[in-house]
Amino acid sequence: MKARNEEAKRVLVTGGAGFIGSHIVDKLVELGHSVAVVDDLSAGRKGYVNKQAHFYQMDICSPQLSEVFKTERPQIVNHHAAQIQVQRSVREPILDAQTNILGSLNVLENARKYGVEKVVFPSSGGTIYGEPEYLPCDEGHPIRPLSPYAAAKYAVETYIQLYRVTYGLSYTILRYSSVYGPRQDPYGEAGVIAIFAQAMLDGRVPTINGSGEQERDFLYIDDVVEANLMVMSGGEGQILNIGTGRGTSVNSIFQQLKDIIRYSKEAVHGPPKPGEVFRICLGISKAQCDLGWLPRVSLQEGLQRTVDHFRSLSSTAGNQ
């Protein structure tokens, strides 16, 4: 089975056992690509790794990463491995930089040495622009990171562009908004939809940080996967926002999930988290023009799918 009428590729997905990466791997395998996964399982789960992918349990900072490149000879590297928690980056900026900057440089160096055709890098449109001067933020908005996580993402963007100028390495950078959906960790620090949904299904009371009027641009996982597939053969040398262009408040998310789940309790409020942007949404006209990409899953539909997923997990666990 060929991929979208194109030649099947050898693709290495770092972070391919994680929330976003594992969904990308599943689709790549379905479309007939040969896929290898590198993940240290610090955040990902081995059970999420597609059984048809070649799996290497490894930190992207490891010198042994070169052996993976030597063995697999990937044509495309989809680099999703990262330290993903903004709050952890605030607490441990050195650790964040070690993974997100030095680990990414290790990936880029191996991509250069082993003749990779293209690197796809997910950056963070939800954090690197800082508090916006205007909404929605387009790709030309000033970069003003408010956290080490955001600063690291922008640093890697800069390195990737340098590798293209210096070594001819092709790339596309995708600046994601707030991605949600099945497999997102409901017990971590990030991912308010997963956290709220699981808490409600467990009968626990969710905590809203700050007033709850802070807004995010919530994007369903399937639309993110679609963008990643499109840039395998498009978006050369481009930085593209991947979002919906609309902001939704945390309070609204809580209410919509409450209605779907038929949850009767009210949330409690905690202090706001340092380093987080208050209001953000992303302009996506460039992705639409360059790729023909647009989000297809509405927030209501995405929330319903996400609740159904976590409900099915709770049901399965309860039957064991």
The boundaries of the domain holding residue 63 are 10-179+219-245+283-296
Q: CA 284, CA 176: separation in Å to the nearest integer?
A: 10
Walk across the sheet containing 10-14 and list its strands: 54-57, 34-39, 10-14, 76-79, 118-124, 170-176, 238-242
DSSP label at 154?
H
Cα angle for residues 243, 165, 139 (degrees, 5° grid) = 20
Tokens of 21: 């990466």
Q: What is the mean pLDDT of residues 190-203?
A: 95
pLDDT per residue over 120-141, tens digit each?
Answer: 999 999 999 999 999 999 999 9
- List the structure tokens of 32: 């007939």
Arithmetic mean of pLDDT over the chain: 95
User: Looking at the domain assignment, is residue 263 inside a domain?
Assistant: no
Hey, which residues does 241 pair with through a beta bridge?
175
Structure tokens at 117: 């055709």
Q: For the domain that residue 175 is a member of, what is the CATH number?
A: 3.40.50.720
Residue 111 parent element (H or E): helix 103-113
Q: How confident is the model at residue 190 (pLDDT cuts 50, 70, 90)?
A: confident
Q: Which residues contact 268 (CB under 8 A, 6 or more apart)?
A: 205, 206, 207, 208
∠ CA 158-96-42, nearest 5°, is: 120
In a domain, 259, yes or no: no
Q: Please give the tally of structural domains in the chain.
A: 1
Q: If you write DSSP's letter for every residue of 114-133 in order, what string do you get? A: TT-SEEEEEEETTTTT-S-S
Q: Cβ contacts of residue 277 below 8 Å, gap of 6+?
A: 126, 127, 129, 130, 131, 132, 146, 214
Residue 320 has pLDDT above 50, yes or no: no
Q: What pLDDT is attached to residue 315?
A: 67
Task: Assess if residue 108 is contained within a domain.
Answer: yes
Taking only the tens place, the pLDDT of each residue in 238-247 is 999 999 999 9
Peptide bond into 132 cis (omega under 30): no
> What residues are labeled active site?
149
Q: How confident is the model at residue 63 (pLDDT cuts 50, 70, 90)?
A: very high
**Per the domain annotation, does 89 fall within a domain?**
yes
Inside any domain, residue 210: no
Q: Tell me, yes or no, whether 205 lies in a domain.
A: no
Residue 21 lies in a domain: yes
192 has a pLDDT exceeding 50: yes
In a domain, 191, yes or no: no
